[in-house]
Amino acid sequence: MMSKKALITGVTGQDGAYLAKVLLDKGYTVYGCYRRTASTNFWRVDEAGASGHPNLHLAEFDLTDLSNCIRLMQSTEPDEVYNLAAQSFVGVSFDQPVTTSEITGLGVLNLLEAIRLVNPRIRFYQASTSEMFGKVQAIPQCEETPFYPRSPYGVTKLYAHWMTINYRESYDIFGSSGILFNHESQLRGLEFVTRKITDAVAQISLGQDRVLELGNMDAKRDWGFAGEYVEGMWRMLQADEPDTFVLATGRTESVRDFVRLAFQAVGVELEFRGKEESEIAVAANGTEHIQAGQLLVRVNPRFYRPAEVELLIGDASKAKNVLGWEAKTTLEELCRMMVEADVRRHANGGPRG
Ligand code: NDP
Ligand code: GDR
């Protein structure tokens, strides 16, 4: 039997790299699409263990170019398309709302049009997000919870989500949408809060004299391990029917809790003092490179967002019942894994990303 062919947009991102590895291991031929830049970097594909695989083909591609999307479908003839490409940083979407909308919104329409024109039998996965719930209307959030996005990114993702459903209903395209809650890993970009924290904790634990500056530490997120979430994406495209699924852990913790866990992973307990803009955290105990009482964390309002998503917690029971998918890695395990990876990187000369 011929192996299946999958096209992944955003292969240089966290999820793209993990998904490439998972699909290669399942015997797929994978077209990993990346956009041309002056300094394209495949470090995540390397670290995920997918680089150099004979069935991995890298293809240049820009989501905002419809003709590029059409020719890519024609030349690669995929069975499945996983659309992971996006301007995915919520903070930047406030500064670059138009670019975000073009890539994260209209880009999805380009792909759906390319599928409709070239081969409507291609199965399509859209990377939707818990950010669409925004100012949450129910706790926990599931597939039926009303949406209320709170950023240009969230609004744009909601457009793409509905466009995927519309192409499913209008043209019978197998378009599935995964509403994924935050998922993290050592391949996460340095600008996202978990990796920003683990990277700083690693540096401080090795003796670098710096203070971690954060925005809203009260924000609560449902954080899972990215390596498991990409398996859920694949399962969505193997189901009998296209549908919408939430993937989440069902546990929520604050940014402050994540900071606490990250410092615990290097043997430091934190003492938080002050509130809101004047909140700080100091070391309650010493280690080889950290002194008891040392200032380690402070709030910098520069990292506040114009509108915030305060609390996300997902109910993934539909994915469990229909797909047999469930998150397994605990937040403690995830955080430790990320801190240890960053300690190794800094001990060996520098961060990745
Ligand atoms: P990343 O930001 O790590 O990766 C995004 C990818 O999109 C990168 O490969 C980037 O390329 C690529 N890209 C951006 N613009 C374009 C473009 N114009 N043309 C082609 N490629 C482009 O995101 P993640 O891996 O974390 O997330 C994957 C998807 O899932 C995203 O759509 C994200 O919005 C969504 N999502 C993520 C969640 C998470 O917690 N991680 C949760 C829910 C949804 P480059 O390397 O050149 O920048
Ligand atoms: P999020 O992730 O916005 O949930 O989007 P991010 O890690 O950026 O923020 C999570 C929460 O932490 C608060 N925060 C900070 N965030 C950042 N980045 N930097 C800080 O210094 C900081 N201090 C506090 C934020 O305000 C926020 O409340 C991610 C992305 O991967 C999206 O693409 C994806 O769709 C969603 O997760 C689900």
Distance CA 325, CA 227 (A): 13
Task: Provide the edge-to-edge strand list for the sheet that holds 123-129.
Answer: 56-60, 29-34, 5-9, 80-83, 123-129, 175-180, 244-247
**Residue whose CA is closest, atom 23 of ligand 2?**
215
Indicate which atom in ligand 2 lies nearest the CA of residue 86: 33
pLDDT value at 6 more than 70:
yes
Indicate which atom in ligand 1 lies nearest the CA of residue 180: 43
Q: What share of the chain is helix, strand, coil (3-state, %, to 5)?
A: 40, 20, 40
58 DSSP β-pair partners: 32
Q: Write the DSSP symbol of residue 63.
A: T
**Residue whose CA is closest, atom 1 of ligand 1?**
13
Q: Which pLDDT score is estimated for 353?
A: 65
**Residue whose CA is closest, atom 15 of ligand 1?**
86
Q: Which pLDDT score is estimated for 169?
A: 97
Average of per-residue pLDDT across 10-37: 97
Answer yes or no: is the C-beta of 91 below 6 A from any ligand 2 atom. Answer: yes
Greatest extent of the chain over all pairs of C-alpha atoms, in Å? 64
Q: Strand 270-273 relative to strand 280-283: parallel, antiparallel, unpaired? A: antiparallel
Answer yes or no: is the C-beta of 246 below 6 A from any ligand 2 atom. Answer: no
For the stretch 136-181, pLDDT in tens is 999 999 999 999 999 999 999 999 999 999 999 999 999 999 999 9
Distance CA 78, CA 125 (A): 13
For the stretch 233-284, pLDDT in tens is 999 999 999 999 999 999 999 999 999 999 999 999 999 999 999 999 999 9
Indicate which atom in ligand 1 lies nearest the CA of residue 88: 34
In three-state secondary structure terms, 113 is: helix
Distance CA 78, CA 73 (A): 7
For the stretch 186-213, pLDDT in tens is 999 999 999 999 999 999 999 998 999 9
CA of 272 to the centre of ligand 1 (A): 34
In three-state secondary structure terms, 64 is: coil
pLDDT value at 299 more than 90:
yes
Distance CA 164, CA 147 (A): 16
pTM (2 decimals)?
Answer: 0.98
Average of per-residue pLDDT across 8-25: 98
Distances (CA, A) of 223 to 91, 171, 253, 349: 18, 35, 8, 28
For the stretch 58-78, pLDDT in tens is 999 999 999 999 999 999 999
User: pLDDT band at residue 288, thresholds of 50, 70 and 90?
Assistant: very high
For the stretch 73-130, pLDDT in tens is 999 999 999 999 999 999 999 999 999 999 999 999 999 999 999 999 999 999 999 9
CA of 182 to the centre of ligand 1 (A): 13
Answer yes or no: is the C-beta of 88 below 6 A from any ligand 2 atom. Answer: yes
Q: Which pLDDT score is estimated for 351?
A: 67
Q: Name the region of 275 (left: φ>0; alpha: ψ -120 to 50; beta: rest).
A: beta
Burial status of residue 257 (CB atoms within 10 A of its CB: 0-12, 13-18, 19 or more): middle
Pull the structure tokens for residue 292: 């008891």
Q: Which residue has the tokens 């309650």?
A: 284
**Residue whose CA is closest, atom 3 of ligand 1?**
13
Q: Which pLDDT score is estimated for 349?
A: 81
Give pairs for 319-322: CB < 8 Å, separation 24+: 319/232, 319/235, 319/245, 319/246, 319/247, 322/239, 322/243, 322/245
Distances (CA, A) of 247 to 15, 142, 206, 230: 14, 9, 35, 10
Taking each helix axis as running N to C, give the angle between helix 193-205 and helix 331-347, from 0 to 180 degrees, rounded to the nearest 10. Answer: 50
CA of 90 to the centre of ligand 2 (A): 7
Distance CA 81, CA 102 (A): 19
CA of 276 to the centre of ligand 1 (A): 31
Provide the annotated active-site residues. 129, 131, 153
Domains of the chain (ranges plus CATH)?
Answer: 5-185+222-251+311-328 (3.40.50.720), 193-218+254-309+336-347 (3.90.25.10)
Reference 332, options 262, 283, 274; nearest CA is 262
Q: Which pLDDT score is estimated for 40?
A: 82
What's the complex ipTM? 0.99
Q: Percent of the chain having pLDDT more than 70?
A: 99
Please tell me the number of the ligand nearest to residue 246's CA: 1
